[in-house]
Chains A and B, each alone.
Chain A
Amino acid sequence: MILDFSSQLDYVWALLPEVILAITGLVVLTGDVFARGSSEVQSGRWVPALAIAGLVAAGAAAVFLAAVEGPGRMSMVAVDGMRVALTLVIVGATIVALLFSLEELERRGLAVGEFYFLVLMATVGMTLLTAARDLILVFVAIELMSISVYVLTGFDRRSRRSAEAGLKYFLVGAFASGFLLYGIALVFGAVGGTNLGLVDSAVAAGAADGSLLLQAGIALLLIGLGFKVSAVPFHMWTPDAYEGAPTPVTAFMAAGVKAAGFAAGLRVVAIGLAPAAVMWHDIVWWLALLTMIVPNLIALQEEDVKRMLAYSSIAHAGYLLVGLVAGGALGISATIFYLGVYALMTVGSFAVVAVVAGGSEDAALGKFRGLGWSRPLLSLLMVVCLLSLAGFPPTGGFVGKLYLLQAAMSAGEVALAVVLVLTSVLSYYYYLRVIWKMYFDEAPEGEAPAVPSRAFQFAGGVAVLGLLASGLFPGPAVDVTEAAGLEAAAVVDADPGTPPEAPTRAAPAAPIPAAE
């Protein structure tokens, strides 16, 4: 099947995952209103089931798009491997996050149709971001995602912290959107278009050589995107928003918003503005450096596991920025792979935090004492997620870091690679501290967190197996992401830094003739 937009229906096909998600969202919202009536406080189990079914269908649609020959590089919507891979990451993370949080939401009285509607709408924005190849579409998608997530952050109306977090996130986020929009305007002024293919060609052709307008536009774009992916120094909102939001929302936004934000970063910066690399390379380089160092230092003394994980998620943005700086096919594919692994491990760890915190947002380190002996399987999930976050073999986190290191090394970013490994060592301390509380300390008498539901156990199994499988047998995922990276990078016409061919496989060890 070829999408050339010769018929109107082609737009539907090109946006099939988003269309499915949006329709599911509307059905969930309206259906819930009618089914619930005025007496019941929470909606029935069919609502999340329908939401998950819609997400699964959207994933299937993404797989369908993988087989479709996409439109050219000038189209507004990309249909390529990168979109498919990242859509699967986002949809998959959302499904796992929902499965983890079904019970938690009901316990807190948050399991209402609007919640699932907002999650689905945020997901539409996120998946649209993976496809957006026009700055206007990027902005629209970011706003759709962000506004949904602001509301989700403050969704627990009875909790002051939730409301505070939602407001904070909204104010800072709105500010960031302003930067983003202004940046888009300046870029438009500099090159005469918002289409990223056009921007790419125009910049490559020298239309904006030395243009102050473009430089300022790129800087503003980076500030806006930096806020969204919480890169230092634009990260201040993250710990508060992550801590105050209901934990299921935190998990969802840590995984999904980050993946979508980086998708936009890749499309706009690493691909669309690749010919203008001189104008952004140093900025992103410093962002990456700071984003790796600062949160890792702060997290060392964080006594609350939820806040610690929030800082850890900022640190992971730093690692991901290394992939963005490295750029090229390898940088893009490494970022995609890492986002996939990151989504799984971060959702898993926040899910455990939700259980341990037991319906509150208070996840002090002390609550994990002796968990390893009172809830062995729950702790196993936490250990695997933490080891993966730390980048320890044989988990996906290790392979992801190796992938990023390869990208950095092949792009000659040795300093970033070294900082990446050294800050990883720092992070070992605070991840290990949780493991130490869980296993080296005795549990306080009597109280142990509730045994999670079946859905939680299933999602936990998926997370553990997924992290181990991506750590031990990453071959298929590496192949997929590598192809996606090559395809995405090939859009860039005049990027001398990316050789078009993939690194070839090792030849079978042939005996080398000995020296004479």
Chain B
Amino acid sequence: MVGDGFFASHWLLALLLAAPLLGALACFAAPEERAKHVALVASVAVFGLSLPLFWTFEQGTPALQNYVSIPWIEAWGIGYTVGIDGISLLMVMLTTFILPLAVLGSFNYVKQRQRAFYAMLLVLETAMLGVFVALDLFLFFLFWEIMLVPMYFLIGIWGGTRRVYAAIKFFLFTAVGSLLMLAAIVALVYLYYRQFGVLTFAYNDLVQLPIGRQIQIPLFAAFALAFAIKVPMFPLHTWLPDAHVEAPTAGSVILAGVMLKMGTYGFLRFAMPMFANAATSPTVVTTVMVLSLVGILYGAWVAAVQPDVKKLVAYTSIAHLGFVMMGLFALTQQSVEGAILQMVNHGISTGALFLLIGMLYERRHTRMIADFGGIARTMPLFAVAFVVVALSSIGLPGTNGFVGEFLILLGTFRTQPLFAVLAASGVIFAAAYMLPMLQRVFYGPVTRAENESLRDLCPRERTIMAPLLAMILLIGVYPAPFLARTSASVEALISQIDERAGRAPLTMSPDVRPYDRLPILGVDEQPGGEP
């Protein structure tokens, strides 16, 4: 039993969930022009609170940490069950890291209804953190759905000209998937009830349920649809460019930085282990590989012809998430670790790009590539930051993007060599859309008079970019602390999936043995040992 005390206890997670909500209330109570400062303090405090989570995390064990399960709706076996493992740890850290930057990036952007704006951001933070730490399917779904509401308001109220269309499209797309997932969750709960005679929504219980192969397919499909829309995977991506382009800067940053990761996280945490047989069947794997590949190539090609920088970056997200999905379904240690790291990387790089585009937009009120040119002369610091972030997005060695993509390709090559080779070309296409854009925006002569007098980054903006650039380079040269925290979880997950896929029952009979589940730190085992 290690890690006694507050920082290893579930109270830390409870505090992380509660603090942004309290901050949101404080925003409403604060005077209009003070709301942003309140929000900044709250989000920085949440980040500060989350740091001990990273330090006290017990490495080398797949066990669930900071775990607690408190009965909530007892009649249905629903509990407040939260906990983290290596995978959710990184997602939580990413969320708390991005949020203060998103708040800071909105200081000048949002001038109207500031209280509501910052309150919405903080409510969103609670919902996102909740999705990553929830280990009860009811709780998970609750956060998953609540998240849509503040985002709907963020896009709809503070967005661009087509904001209403984008907000409704975003909402409805996501809702179709999630409601089918709700039906699947209830079906799962009742399958469990028939098999074991108890009603429970707990992840750790439901993941033990052996599901007949025939039933796995529709259930997996329902979960996969919800997550694939969120990722978004290729044919389901059409909400993303609209939402990104119309959302205010903070909305885009959070959407790209954190919310897209919920789809991939959902695959990894729920869809793949619960329906291992479906998730590893050749048909599903090949479909996912093909769609990911199409996403990578299509995202890159479409990005290359966008006249709007923000839309360009939005399409690159589709390509990047294609890599992540490929890594997940290749299901090797390296590819999955790489995919998780790439989730973080994409959050940082794309978040940074959207912040930078927001800064540019605040100065010129346009995002068209054609309106710029040569602004590296007038805004040297901005140009440096943008180029570094853009290169990390391409995956240049020395930046974080390289580590993630390299691991994914390396791991994928072992099980799906053809797709790995084809996907590697995506890296070249990434250069093909990013570098011309950089050249047209930053280099060459200054063609327009308005661009002569652009201000360079102000101290606030430098404060935003500094941590992002630091993380890009840190993960680029020293990813070990991050990989070390995920490797045990990934290993356990892959062996779990493999084992389940190997012995899924054909029918549901009363004597089918339950699978094992993730151990809980401090309850089941000593760190490092097998349960």
Which of B129-159 touch A at CB < 8 Å? 138, 141-142, 145-146, 149, 152-153, 156-157
Q: Are B179 and A422 in contact (CB under 8 A)?
A: yes
Q: Are A409 and B199 in contact (CB under 8 A)?
A: no
Given contacts A429-B172, A436-B168, A512-B516, contact A417 B183 (CB under 8 A): yes
Bitwise interface map of A from 395 to 423 toward B, beta carbon under 8 Å scored 1, else 0: 00010001001100110001001101110
Please list the residues of chain B having a beta carbon within 8 angstroms of any beta carbon in chain A: 69, 71-77, 79, 113, 138, 141-142, 145-146, 149, 152-153, 156-157, 163-164, 167-168, 171-172, 175-176, 179-180, 182-183, 186-187, 189-190, 193, 197-200, 202, 204-205, 208, 499, 513-517, 519-520, 523-524, 530-531
Given contacts A439-B153, A505-B77, A509-B202, contact A417 B186 (CB under 8 A): yes
Q: How far is the CB of A24 from chain B (nearest CB, A)?
A: 36
- Shortest Cβ distance from A501 into B: residue: B197
Q: How far is the CB of B267 from chain A (nearest CB, A)?
A: 20
Q: Are B72 and A475 in contact (CB under 8 A)?
A: yes
Given contacts A505-B199, A512-B516, contact A409 B175 (CB under 8 A): no
Q: Are A418 and B183 in contact (CB under 8 A)?
A: yes
Residue A496 CB within 8 A of the other chain? no
Q: Are A506 and B205 in contact (CB under 8 A)?
A: yes
CB-CB under 8 A from A508, the residues of chain B are 69
Which of A425-475 touch B at CB < 8 Å? 425, 428-429, 432-433, 435-436, 439-440, 473-475
Please list the residues of chain A having a beta carbon within 8 angstroms of any beta carbon in chain B: 373, 387, 392-394, 398, 402, 405-406, 409-410, 414, 417-418, 420-422, 424-425, 428-429, 432-433, 435-436, 439-440, 473-475, 478-479, 482, 502-509, 511-512, 514-515
Q: Are A424 and B179 in contact (CB under 8 A)?
A: yes
CB-CB under 8 A from A428, the residues of chain B are 171-172, 175
**In the docked arrangement, what's the CA distance between A373 and B113, Å?**
9
- Shortest Cβ distance from A482 into B: residue: B75
Q: Are A405 and B182 in contact (CB under 8 A)?
A: yes
Q: How far is the CB of B314 from chain A (nearest CB, A)?
A: 21
- Shortest Cβ distance from A439 into B: residue: B157
Q: How far is the CB of B3 from chain A (nearest CB, A)?
A: 19
A-B pair count, CB < 8 Å, reads: 127
**In the docked arrangement, what's the CA distance between A507 and B196, Å?**
10
CB-CB under 8 A from B75, the residues of chain A are 475, 478-479, 482, 502-503, 505
Given contacts A439-B156, A478-B75, contact A506 B199 (CB under 8 A): yes
Given contacts A475-B74, A514-B531, contact A418 B180 (CB under 8 A): yes
CB-CB under 8 A from B182, the residues of chain A are 402, 405, 421
CB-CB under 8 A from B200, the residues of chain A are 506
- Shortest Cβ distance from A511 into B: residue: B524
Q: How far is the CB of B93 from chain A (nearest CB, A)?
A: 26
Q: How far is the CB of B222 from chain A (nearest CB, A)?
A: 9
Q: Are A436 and B190 in contact (CB under 8 A)?
A: no
CB-CB under 8 A from B72, the residues of chain A are 473, 475
Q: Are A515 and B186 in contact (CB under 8 A)?
A: no
**In the docked arrangement, what's the CA distance between A250 and B414, Å?**
66
**In the docked arrangement, what's the CA distance between A410 and B183, Å?**
12
Q: How far is the CB of A61 from chain B (nearest CB, A)?
A: 27
Q: Are A393 and B145 in contact (CB under 8 A)?
A: yes
Q: Are A410 and B190 in contact (CB under 8 A)?
A: yes
Q: Are B199 and A504 in contact (CB under 8 A)?
A: yes
Q: Are A394 and B524 in contact (CB under 8 A)?
A: no
Q: Are B514 and A512 in contact (CB under 8 A)?
A: yes
Q: Are A509 and B157 in contact (CB under 8 A)?
A: no
- Shortest Cβ distance from A433 into B: residue: B168
**In the docked arrangement, what's the CA distance between A508 and B205, Å?**
10
CB-CB under 8 A from B531, the residues of chain A are 511, 514
- Shortest Cβ distance from A390 into B: residue: B175
Q: Are A432 and B199 in contact (CB under 8 A)?
A: no
CB-CB under 8 A from B176, the residues of chain A are 422, 425
CB-CB under 8 A from B175, the residues of chain A are 425, 428
Given contacts A409-B186, A424-B179, A475-B75, contact A504 B198 (CB under 8 A): yes
Q: How far is the CB of A433 from chain B (nearest CB, A)?
A: 8
**In the docked arrangement, what's the CA distance between A508 and B530, Å?**
22
- Shortest Cβ distance from B76 into A: residue: A478
- Shortest Cβ distance from A373 into B: residue: B113
Instruction: Identify which of A373, A432, A475, A507 contacts B73 (C-beta below 8 A).
Output: A475
Q: Are B180 and A512 in contact (CB under 8 A)?
A: no
The 3 closest A-B pairs by CB, nearest first: A506-B77, A506-B200, A421-B179
Q: Are B198 and A406 in contact (CB under 8 A)?
A: no
**In the docked arrangement, what's the CA distance between A503 and B196, Å?**
11
| 26 A-B pairs with C-beta separation under 8 A | A387-B149, A392-B145, A392-B149, A398-B145, A402-B138, A402-B182, A417-B183, A417-B186, A418-B180, A421-B180, A422-B180, A428-B175, A429-B172, A475-B75, A482-B75, A502-B75, A503-B198, A505-B74, A505-B75, A505-B198, A506-B79, A506-B200, A511-B524, A514-B516, A514-B530, A515-B513
CB-CB under 8 A from A504, the residues of chain B are 197-199
Q: Are A440 and B187 in contact (CB under 8 A)?
A: no
CB-CB under 8 A from A402, the residues of chain B are 138, 182, 186
- Shortest Cβ distance from A392 into B: residue: B145
Q: Are B164 and A436 in contact (CB under 8 A)?
A: yes
**In the docked arrangement, what's the CA distance between A261 and B223, Å?**
36
